[in-house]
Amino acid sequence: MKNNFLFIFSLIFFSFSSPISFANTDIPSILEPWSDWVKKGNEKLACPNVNNKNLNNINNHLCAWSGALTLEINTLSARFEQEWFIQEKSFIPLPGGKKQWPQEVSVNGKKLPVITKFGNPSIELRAGQYSIKGEFHWLKKPETIHIPSQYAVINLVNEGEKVTFPKVANNKLWLAHTSEKGTVDDAIKLEVSRKIEDGAIIKLTTYITLNVSGKMREEPLGKVLPAGFQLASIQSELPTFIDTNGVVHTKVRPGEWTIKVHAFSEATLLTWQ
């Protein structure tokens, strides 16, 4: 018979963004020579699982993480820059589309051809850390420009004026000037609840509820996994991952959001504190 326990606690805090890092999977030295052979064609299975979906489907694993997109818009042109952290070879989506195709795209200072992937401009990159830059040129500034859904933080400068709250709707960034009535402080109200399912394997589901105000940004939310638990998956509408130190990072934007962190452990390995 399973016993369910619920632990609830909440707090309010303010924090700033921090660097991104990916967790590495340790392989016993005796098996290391076979690693590439075993993973061939399935390298993405080592990447974090997305939204608690089928672990055996490589499309359910996140292998590339974007930094903030910086976009400077002018009347006849625009420039963009973005950092990417890639765990396994991936197609990286670029801003723009058929009507606003990115030009002069460079990766770490070297020009790279742009290809079409799923109907949108993309480039393919191997594992590593990259700085991607590019330009747009047009005869008339468009009203909107396509922004891939993977982007969560946008730093927009429109005609030399910084836009504190860029408007993004249906993956379209609006470029028209908007009036901003006052400013809202960056703040997060955070509530955490845990559900534990007893059995031969202990299952732990952590619910993180966020009430966010202010601008889009990345926030470290602290450690959520007790000692002895291993991460199974993360379920979230916001881009979220856990770094090598066990700290949850998420790219937040104003609104109310819920993050579910699924973990497991053998009962004999647990030490509650």
> What are the pLDDT digits (tens) for 261-273?
988 887 765 555 4
Confidence bin at 42 (pLDDT 50/70/90): low
Q: Is it the case that residue 66 has pLDDT exceeding 90?
A: no
Cα 117 to Cα 133: distance, rounded to the nearest angstrom: 18
SS3 260: strand
Phi and psi dihedrals of 94, rounded to 5?
A: -110, 155
Q: How far is Cα 35 from Cα 29, in angstroms, rounded to an integer?
A: 10
CA distance readout (Å), 182 to 38, 103, 164: 56, 36, 10
Q: Which residues share a beta bridge with 205?
A: 195, 262
Across 124-138, 177-191, 211-225, the highest mean pLDDT is recorded for 124-138
Q: Is 174 exposed, middle or buried (0-12, 13-18, 19+ CB in 10 A)?
A: middle
Q: List beta partners, residue 156.
A: 71, 163
Sheet with strand 120-125: strands edge to edge: 90-93, 120-125, 115-117
